[in-house]
Structure 1
C-alpha cells in the first residue's frame, strides 16, 4: 500500500509539472524571447573590489559617476537587465550585473565599457547564467516604481 501511495504521489507531481500554465501569455513570452519553459541564458557578473588603491576621492567620484551613467545607458539599450550594489561585507563583493547576452565574450565588451572597471576600482567575474526570461522587463518595471531616481 505504501508503494502505491508513493507511486501515485510521484505520478501526481509529474502530472503537475506537465500541466499547461493557465496564466500563460503567448504575446508576452514572444516579447521577452521566452521558450515554453520561460527561461533564457544571460551572463551574470559579480563585481568585486579592484586593484586600484591609489585613486583620489575626486577620481573615484568621476569614475563612479561614469559607472552609473553606463549602467543607465546599458539598461536603456536592453543590454543590462539587472544591476545593484551589495551592502558592506567582508568578501569584497561590490555589486552585480546581469547582462542580456549569451556569451562571456559579449559580456566582457559590455562590462569593459564601465569607467570604474576600466580604472580598476571594480573587478568583474563573469559566468553564463540561466534565469527567467521576464528579467528583460526589469528596466521597464523599475521606471514605473522609481519616483526620484538614484
Structure 2
C-alpha cells in the first residue's frame, strides 16, 4: 500500500514537471508531445512545424515550439509578452499571422467605433495581469494594438 502511494506521488510530481518552457533545442517532436500531450494548435512552417501550447483562458502564457523538417526543436518562445504585442506589424499582419503566433484569443469582441473584431489576450507584465487588444479590420488586417490592466473579478452575488 505504501509503495503504491509513493508511486502515485512520484507520478504526480513528474507530470507537474512537464512544462513547455523546459523543452530544450534538439528535442524530438514525438518526445515533446509524449511529455506535454497534444498541443493547443499546430501550424505548418516553411521549414517544419509549430506546436503551440497555450495556457489561455485561465493562464498568462503561450509557447511556440518550432520544429525543423527532421522533427527537432529549434526554437521555444513564450509569446504572450508586452514586447511581442508592441512589435506586431500593424497594417501588415493578418488574422492568420496573429493566430499562428499567439493562438486563439481569450475573447473576440466588437465595439461601435471600430469596424472589425478585437481579439483579446491575457499576459503578465512583471507580475501585473494585463490585456492586449488586437484590432483586426473587416479584411482581417491588424490595425491597432492597445493595452489595459486586467482588473480583478469580484463576485458580489449573495447566496
Q: TM-score range by the shorter chain?
A: under 0.3
Q: Answer 1 or 2: higher relative contact order, Cα 8 Å, separation at least 6.
A: 1
**What is the TM-score of this pair, normalised by structure 2?**
0.25
Q: Which has the higher helix share?
A: 1
**What is the TM-score of this pair, normalised by structure 1?**
0.26
Larger radius of gyration: 1
Q: Which has the higher strand share?
A: 2
